Structure 1
């Protein structure tokens, strides 16, 4: 009985200590958030957690991480590098924080292109006038057995919006999209169909912190920003299975 009581008391003590540490951490991060928000009102702080360096805090402002001391007196913007492991900790954390639940994406609002058996899946936020998006489309020509869901994301100009609507209203969206991006054949659709999907894509992208095009989302939720090469994309698709 004595042994049981000691064990129960020990468990209760450990639980209390854990709760105390958690409460202390919450108080520190809550205070830090309030301080930074007051001093840097333009920041949209999503969360604050301890960084893997003593006394340093990771501040998530969406598409970027910044770092602060516990009092919010000093911040720096840049990558935190692990010199022993030769790893970019900031990059790894951003990839983790910005993972997307692929199954939750409204794929009905995307242009669907199937290559080969289409067994591998990826989504892309793309602007019709984005040169890097055209570069990515060229790379995709050599990628087989993949289904690409392109969310038309016209953020560059009014002409981007007009082209996106014309592509969405075309009889064959996939062919029209590829014809424009790869062959510069302008879409002939007048954009007179229901184009609310494009407005929904813009809202979706903002919600997911898509700040540039192209932005690739793999089936496992990882992101690949920019016009990655065909080789890099092939490797990433292999890991996403």
Structure 2
């Protein structure tokens, strides 16, 4: 085939490819607008094609649902690959919800260093959350890690009171662990202490779709919801990079 014809053929192929991409974008944009108008109480973050032909994956931030191309029907449930037994909904959501660890305002967190502190995690935690206390007990058996705990008082008014007292204490790390591990309540907040960081933590958590405590964030941006076991945490830390 002459060079000129090859170039023309490549140009036509490229144009066709670009045309398909544009149509796909228009389809998902239209679909998003349709669903958002019909379901205004739900915030749709993004829509993309699902692995199953004719289905689209709707990212709600905290879960995936599926819809047809017209937006007439929605399926709520996980998509599972039966060959590998992989929960594809969970895996894709975890990928989309990855966090750039370097952007976290670590100076707004209570810092606890264990061993050489080489490994790093961030945790959104409420002082009155029983699962958060369970995680703190688990962390006693996890070595060589630096834990940045973002006080995230979402459960009650008392959670905010205790968070303020912990943040305003002379030794935040010691006061945090004394309460979470030994149930020794922190002292009252000293007058003039700036607790605006707690409002910032709440805003940060909401922006990152942190809907429960504890939420563990690994250094590679993955998150582990709930009070994971020491084995699960050590395995996740080993694979983080």
Task: Name the TM-score, length of structure 1 as normaliser.
Answer: 0.97
Which residue is equivalent to 1:229?
A: 229
Q: 1:78 and 2:74 equivalent?
A: no
Which residue is equivalent to 1:43?
A: 42
Which residue is equivalent to 1:158?
A: 157
Structure 1 residues 36-60: Cα deviation after superposition (integer angstroms, max 9, x where no partner): 1111111101110000000000001
Cα deviation for residue 3 of structure 1 reads 2.7
1:10 counterpart SS class: helix
Mean Cα deviation higher: 33-42 or 176-185 = 33-42
Mean Cα deviation higher: 4-13 or 132-141 = 4-13
For residues 7 and 185 of structure 1, what CA distance do their matches in structure 2 show? 77
For residues 151 and 9 of structure 2, what CA distance do their matches in structure 1 show? 58
1:121 counterpart SS class: strand
Number of equivalences:
240
Cα deviation for residue 191 of structure 1 reads 5.3
Matched ranges for 1:4-153 at <5 A: 4-153=3-152
Shift in CA distance, 119/13, structure 1 to aligned 2, threshold 3 Å: same
Mean Cα deviation higher: 11-20 or 52-61 = 11-20
1:59 counterpart SS class: strand
1:129 counterpart SS class: coil
Question: Conserved in 2, the CA contact under 8 Å of 1:95 and 1:222?
Answer: yes
Gaps of at least 5 residues in structure 1 are none
Q: Compute the RMSD of aligned alpha carbons.
A: 1.0
For residues 209 and 21 of structure 2, what CA distance do their matches in structure 1 show? 29
1:91 counterpart SS class: helix
Structure 1 residues 66-118: Cα deviation after superposition (integer angstroms, max 9, x where no partner): 10000111101110001112111001001101000000100000000000000
For residues 11 and 157 of structure 1, what CA distance do their matches in structure 2 show? 63
For residues 110 and 48 of structure 1, what CA distance do their matches in structure 2 show? 34
For residues 233 and 44 of structure 2, what CA distance do their matches in structure 1 show? 32
Cα deviation for residue 5 of structure 1 reads 1.4
Question: Conserved in 2, the CA contact under 8 Å of 1:59 and 1:65?
Answer: yes
1:57 counterpart SS class: strand
Gaps of at least 5 residues in structure 2 are none
Mean Cα deviation higher: 10-19 or 226-235 = 10-19
Shift in CA distance, 72/227, structure 1 to aligned 2, threshold 3 Å: same
Question: Conserved in 2, the CA contact under 8 Å of 1:165 and 1:191?
Answer: no
